Amino acid sequence: MPEGHTVHRLARTFAELFAGQVLAVSSPQGRFTAGAALLDGSRLVASRAWGKQLFLGFADASARPEPGGAPSVPPDDDLRWLRVHLGLYGAWTFAGDGSSAVVHAIGAPRKRIGERDSIPAGPLEPLAPQGEEAWTPPAPRGAVRVRLVGAHAVADLTGPTACEVVSADEVRAVEARLGPDPIRDDPAPAGGPDRFVAAVRRSRTSVGQLLMNQDVIAGVGNIYRAEVLFRAGLDPLTAGRDVPAETLRGVWDDLVVLMRDGAATGAIVTTRPQDRLPDDGAHPGAPVRTGTVRQNTDGSAGSVPADQAFYVYHRDGLPCRVCGTPVLMKELAARKLYWCPTCQR
């Protein structure tokens, strides 16, 4: 399942490609025909993420852009909202007319692109002869739930867990149920880090499980959960109420830095430079890994290779990068949990 930084990248991508444009909205698959009809011919004026939830705000086409091209944004209550939760298998794929680089896919299933949250942008051949304003989007591929077509790009949604048109009140109700989001400048309406600390401290549930609870903190997934607990030296099986408030505030502050970096770069990197060593058998007695977790930035100049990016995630059986103890893995609430039994006591 894509983590929160991926959904924030999606929100930014929609703003860059479609903000202020009147969009043609359809449901090639046919399962969202009624919802698509409510949005077809509307102008996209808002795009935002909260944790793993994406909200696209549509106004009447008469909401004209202001001088200078900036879209006029009516109040939230005057908009129709498309709410999307990608879940385990959802993905947005994009194509453009060649006028600008377009990210090919964000949130694609792991069976296609591993743990990468996207297929990176690249040069595209124009889909219409240069010099002509009109262009023909490529035909939908797969079971496309929603298709958005703008002046220069198209976005197709496949396999989401949730896809619905909602009111502003319904958007607010969803956001109110979610915990604070470390990537947002306004992390929660009810206290941000204070709300996170209080929610963990009043629970007997393990801190490792609480970090995956979107009502406690929004956007954290399996990778960030494992890595931030390692960086804090915190045993993931510790009951939330037994974790000092100061430690939890440190976890929050660390997530703010790590997740915002992930939203900016498209890759999760949690290791400090001095702790990076490839998982290639260079560790004394280490098993050789034939496959690694892939990153969106693999192959990019200056990027951290995926096999050096994590402390414990998907490194079970390999020596801890800090102490050399084999990394452990167990099932916790139907998800795999990774930790070092020595560094995280």
**Residue positions annotated with a catalytic role:** 2-3, 52, 335
Instruction: Label residues 314-323 b or e (16+ Cβ within 10 Å = b).
Output: bbeebbbbbe
Of the candidates 159, 153, 166, 161, the residue with the CA atom closest to the CA atom of residue 29: 159
> Residue 156 corresponds to which amino acid?
D
Q: What angle do CA 246, 252, 256 make, to 5 degrees?
A: 145
Of the candidates 42, 44, 43, the residue with the CA atom closest to the CA atom of residue 13: 44
> Residue 85 corresponds to which amino acid?
H
Asked whether 196 and 190 are in contact (CB, 8 A), the reply is: no
The rounded distance, in Å, linking the Cα atoms of 342 and 99 is 53
Q: The tokens of 68 are what?
A: 């200078």
Asked whether 182 and 259 are in contact (CB, 8 A), the reply is: yes
Q: What angle do CA 294, 297, 298 make, to 5 degrees?
A: 55
Asked whether 224 and 268 are in contact (CB, 8 A), the reply is: yes
> Residue 329 corresponds to which amino acid?
M
| Long-range Cβ pairs for the range 290-294 (8 Å, 24+) | 293/114, 293/115, 294/113, 294/114, 294/115, 294/116
Asked whether 210 and 228 are in contact (CB, 8 A), the reply is: no
State the alpha helices, DSSP H only, in 19-89: 33-39
Helix (H) or strand (E) holding 256: helix 245-265
Residue 151 has φ and ψ, to the nearest 5°, of: -65, -35
